[in-house]
Amino acid sequence: MFGIHYLKVGPTQHVLHYQNGKLRHSGAGLAFFYYRPSSTLSVIPIASADAPFIFNALTQDFQTLTVQGQLTYRIVQPEKAAQFFDFSIDAATNKYATEDPEKLPQRLLNLIQVAIRSEIQRLPLPEALRTPEAVRKGVLRRLMADPLLETLGVEILSLTLLAIKPTPETARALEAEAREQILKQADEAIYARRNAAVDQERRIKENELNTELAVAAKQRKIREAKVEADLAVEQRQQKIRETKMAGQVKLENERRALIEARTANARAEADAQAYALAASLKPLQELDEKTLQLLALQSAEPRRMMTLAFKQLAENAGKIGNLNITPDLLQDLIDQN
């Protein structure tokens, strides 16, 4: 009515209300009345927005790569963005009057494409495929250094690279090369495993030989120790035998000395007895045989006297003519025996 309308925007929308060329309202989430014939409204989205992309780029070795990703951005300075793009809306339909709002993400994607091509061109194909994170950081660093973002009042929130793919022919070639490399590595692994097994077996045999040598050395030391122990025991036994022999020699010497002393004593005693006997028999040695016989007959028994008589008869048998001995005399002699 009378050209007066009511406008209410959300918290993720920044509204610029111009009336007669002057800025009347500016802010996010505003609600106000305005006079339509003399007013111009610009609604700038300040929420984060996603801009997906897919580009082709050449590597250092002239191989084509397809880079797919997504850029997340946000308008942080709506006034600057409104200076380059027309965000005015039609009050009747509340839709953008032009297609300028769609040019902002395209402008950002152009920056992304230039940065990706610059980053990919300095890398060879294998490195570009192996290091997507390094590519992403390089592209993001180039974007953040571009002054156009500050001019447009845009802030880059994140950059995601979903895939970096070569052409199908290149992919098959890389797969074949990788397959050959894998097979080669598998063969090398087999050879390495065999060599390791042979080396391990050699080490085991060396350890067994070293163990046998160590055991033989221990056994030799044990035998040497046993021989030394036996030698020490033999030496001790030899000393014991020498000590015993020395004791026996000393004992024999003492026995010999004792025997010599006893012999000397016995000889002296025998000499004394012989001297005494010789002294006692010396008077008798001076007598003649008949006198001794007469002395013996004085104290002799009748039987001995008869024996002596027979002896004398036998000595003088040639001088005797006839001799008669009665049986009674012989019987008496036998009975006395």
**Token code pair at residue 56:** 């082709």
**Token code pair at residue 269:** 């005693």
Supply the pLDDT for residue 75: 93
Alpha-carbon distance of 185 to 179, in angstroms, equals 10
Supply the pLDDT for residue 288: 63
Is pLDDT of 262 > 90? no
**Helix or strand or coil: residue 285?**
helix
Supply the pLDDT for residue 254: 84
Supply the pLDDT for residue 330: 64
Alpha-carbon distance of 89 to 111, in angstroms, equals 27
Task: Show Cβ contacts of residue 295 under 8 Å, excluding neighbours closer than 6 positions.
Answer: 287
- Among the ranges given (157-166, 191-200, 263-272), the one the predictor scored with the smallest mean pLDDT: 263-272
pLDDT classification of 192: cutoffs 50, 70, 90: confident
* Per-residue model confidence as pLDDT tens digits over 69-122: 999 999 999 999 998 998 988 877 778 888 888 999 999 999 999 999 999 999
Mean pLDDT of all residues belonging to the chain: 84
Distances (CA, A) of 30 to 15, 118, 295: 7, 43, 193
**What residue spans define the domains of the chain?**
4-174
Inter-residue contact 312 to 297 (CB < 8 Å): no
Supply the pLDDT for residue 305: 67
**Topology of the domain covering 4-174:** Tetrahydropterin Synthase; Chain A (3.30.479)
Alpha-carbon distance of 105 to 111, in angstroms, equals 10
Question: Letter for the amino acid at 304?
Answer: R
Is pLDDT of 323 > 70? no
**Helix or strand or coil: residue 159?**
strand
